[in-house]
Amino acid sequence: MRKKTIDNLNVRGKRVLVRCDFNVPLINGAITDENRIVAALPTIKKLIADGGRVILCSHLGKPEKKLSLEPVAASLSGHLSQSVKFLADEQVVSDNVRKAVSEMKDGEVALLENTRMRNEESKNDEAFSKDLASIADIYVNDAFGTAHRAHCSTVGVTAYVNESAVGYLMEKELKFLGAAIENPVRPFVAILGGAKVSDKILVIKELLNKVDKLIIGGGMAYTFFVAQGYTVGDSLLEKDRVKDAKEVIELAKEKGVELLLPVDTVVTQEFNADAPYKTVPSSGIEDGWGGLDIGEKTREIFTAALKDAKTIIWNGPMGVFEFPNFAKGTLALAQAMAQNSGTTIIGGGDSAAAVNQLGYGDKMTHISTGGGASLEFLEGKALPGVEAVQNA
């Protein structure tokens, strides 16, 4: 079912509460990466142009840290070339905030304080949901990165406003991820990396029903090595997931999916950027050595598997990409995807960070802003933040 978007709204003269994802990294109060702010701008600019009175809200950091969104207001003011009034109040919505909102004019923008200043936020508490709704005629959810969480600002508020819709960023996420999963142009290849099988096992099993090829690398590959009867030395290993890995190998055979696992691996005796390293067959990791990246032969096999792909989804790096010596596998796949003429989708999280860090972000069809949300979407789960807008 198609979600109502901001193009279906008449916002002139109305108070529009927009849930954004401004969960940006901060060092000493300074924003170090503005990608999430920039991603929200098309929706905000559209609502300004249409004469809405735009009230932005977001969480920032862990609930216990109580971080302020004030730096985000300053950043937004610069990007929008107009003042974004920061409503600094730890109650998030208070009488002072209501008064400030009531004085807003068409096309003006305000930003509420971090929604996690209120403990009720993560509990989807009715009182805070009603507080948020009390300053809005219309609610817009443009925060895909938190769409998998049923919080006051993503779900609860929708029950108490007159109208709800999704923003452009949310619409784009659902369009690309939805099309890839529901009706992919084939061959369809999925790449899964990252540290743990336990984080991805549900996604792996779901994707085996949909893909033509499944590539597995990163730290979780070593659990698959053990499932094949290899020893992995000091490599990352989830012993309690070896059974799952064996099941995946068998499922892939049953379903006719080509499952590609590393045939060689880059190993070292210590975990640091400058540690001496060597490449060994996947079956030849010695005691005292641990894998930190896929090897050269594996890079060749994996990149060759992407050449004729028409749809590629990638979630999770191939190695410790933060260390240049162990970023070669991740870099090779990023290069191969950048050269692919099909649809290339990065599923948020570390893989998005890696692609951007390596300089290939602008070569991808779509980079998801939500690691956890994109994983749950790929698992086939309904996202509460999306369902709430649809059903409001």
Give pLDDT tens digits for 203-214. Answer: 999 999 999 999
Answer whether residue 199 shows pLDDT above 50: yes
Could you tell me if 79 and 38 lie in one domain?
yes
The whole-number pLDDT of residue 240 equals 96
Could you tell me if 194 and 319 lie in one domain?
yes
Return the closest-CA partner of residue 270 out of 294, 293, 290: 290
- CA–CA dist 137, 100 (Å, integer): 15
Last residue of a domain, one of 170, 194, 228: 170
Could you tell me if 202 and 306 lie in one domain?
yes
Could you tell me if 284 and 158 lie in one domain?
no
Could you tell me if 21 and 159 lie in one domain?
yes
The whole-number pLDDT of residue 375 equals 85
E strand or H helix that includes residue 28: none
Domain count for the chain:
2
Angle at 54 between CA 30 and CA 153, to 5 degrees: 75
Answer whether residue 382 shows pLDDT above 90: no
Could you tell me if 237 and 365 lie in one domain?
yes
Q: Does residue 95 form part of some domain? A: yes
E strand or H helix that includes residue 249: helix 242-255
Could you tell me if 25 and 104 lie in one domain?
yes
3 state SS for 73-136 = HHHHHHHHCCCEEEECCCCCCCHHHHHHHHCCCCCCEEEECCHHHCCCHHHCCHHHHHHHHCCC
Q: Does residue 386 form part of some domain? A: no
pLDDT band at 358 (very low <50, low <70, confident <90, very high): confident
Choosing from 196, 205, 297, 310, the catalytic residue is 196
The whole-number pLDDT of residue 123 equals 95
Could you tell me if 146 and 188 lie in one domain?
no
Radius of gyration, CA atoms only, the chain: 23
What is the per-residue pLDDT across 140-177, written as a single tens digit (0 to 9) for each? 999 998 999 999 999 999 999 999 999 999 999 999 98
Pairing mode, strands 264-268 and 290-294 = antiparallel
Could you tell me if 190 and 125 lie in one domain?
no
The whole-number pLDDT of residue 352 equals 87
Q: Does residue 179 form part of some domain? A: no
Segment among 116-125, 166-175, 354-363 with least mean pLDDT: 354-363
Residue 372 known to be catalytic? yes
Could you tell me if 60 and 166 lie in one domain?
yes
pLDDT band at 392 (very low <50, low <70, confident <90, very high): low
Residue 290 known to be catalytic? no
E strand or H helix that includes residue 244: helix 242-255
Choosing from 145, 193, 348, 349, the catalytic residue is 349
What is the per-residue pLDDT across 52-93, written as a single tens digit (0 to 9) for each? 999 999 999 998 888 999 999 999 999 999 999 999 999 999
Answer whether residue 349 shows pLDDT above 80: no
Last residue of a domain, one of 117, 139, 170: 170
Q: Does residue 308 form part of some domain? A: yes
Alpha-carbon separation of residue 170 from 73, 79, 158, 352 (angstroms): 21, 20, 16, 17
Residue 107 known to be catalytic? no
Could you tell me if 314 and 355 lie in one domain?
yes
Residue 319 known to be catalytic? no
Q: To 10 degrees, the CA torsion angle through 146, 151, 154, 160?
A: 180
Q: Does residue 38 form part of some domain? A: yes
Last residue of a domain, one of 170, 193, 214: 170
The identity of residue 315, as a single letter, is N
Residue with tokens 């050449």: 307
Choosing from 36, 53, 118, 328, the catalytic residue is 36
Q: Does residue 78 form part of some domain? A: yes
Domain that holds residue 294: 184-378
What is the per-residue pLDDT across 279-300, written as a single tens digit (0 to 9) for each? 999 999 999 999 999 999 999 9
Angle between the N-to-C axes of helices 349-357 and 328-339, in degrees from 0 to 180, rounded to the nearest 10:
80
The whole-number pLDDT of residue 1 equals 39
Choosing from 51, 61, 107, 372, the catalytic residue is 372
Answer whether residue 391 shows pLDDT above 80: no
Mean pLDDT, range 46-50, rounded to an integer: 98
Q: Does residue 148 form part of some domain? A: yes
The whole-number pLDDT of residue 50 equals 98
CATH number of the structural domain spanning residue 247 = 3.40.50.1260
pLDDT band at 101 (very low <50, low <70, confident <90, very high): very high
Could you tell me if 224 and 361 lie in one domain?
yes
Say which residue, 331 or 179, is predicted with more confidence. 331
Q: Does residue 177 form part of some domain? A: no
